[in-house]
Amino acid sequence: MAEAVKTVSNPKSFAFEMPKFEIPSFEMPKMEVPAAFREVAEKSVAQAKETWDKMKAASEEATEIMEETYTTASKGASDYGLKVIDTTRANVNAAFDFASALMGAKSISEIIELSTSHARSSFDTMSAQTKELAALAQKVATDAVEPMKTGMTSAFKKVS
C-alpha cells in the first residue's frame, strides 16, 4: 500500500493570484457655484485672514511685553539680591566690631553696657533694613507687573 507522494519541482507554478478588478470611474456633474455663495465664501476668507492678522499682531506684542516683564523682573531680583548681600555685609561687620569690643572689655559692667548698646543698635539697624528690603521688593514687583498690565490691556483692545 504504497501511496504516491507528489513533489513539486517548481513552487511558483502553484502561486495564488488575486483576481483583478477594475474600479469604475464616475464623473462628477459639473455645477456652477452661485455667485451669492462665492461672495459669502470670499468674505469669510477675507474676514478670517483679517482676524488671523490681528491675532498674530497681538501675540507678537504680548510676547514682547512678556520679554520686557521678565527682563525688568530679572533686574529687580538682581538689585534685591545685591541689597541683601550689602545688608548681610553690614550685619557681619557690626558683629565683628561687637566681638572686638567685647574682647577689650575690662569689667562685667562694661560687657553688659556693650551688649545692651549692641542689641539696641542691632534692633534699629534690622528695622531699617527690613523696611528698606520690603520697599525694594514692592518696587520690584510693581515695576515687573506694570508693563504686563498696560501692554496686555493694549494688545487685547486691538484684537476686540
Lookup: cell for 128: 531699617
pTM flag (> 0.75):
no
Distance, in Å, from the CA atom of 18 to the CA atom of 145, rounded to the nearest integer, reads: 71
Separation of first and last alpha carbons in the chain: 96
pLDDT for 159 equals: 59
Asked whether 61 and 153 are in contact (CB, 8 A), the reply is no
pLDDT tens readout for residues 82-99: 999 999 999 999 999 999
pLDDT tens readout for residues 32-90: 777 788 888 888 999 999 989 888 887 888 888 888 888 888 999 999 999 999 999 99
Angle at 74 between CA 69 and CA 76, to 5 degrees: 95
Lookup: cell for 57: 499682531
pLDDT for 11 equals: 55
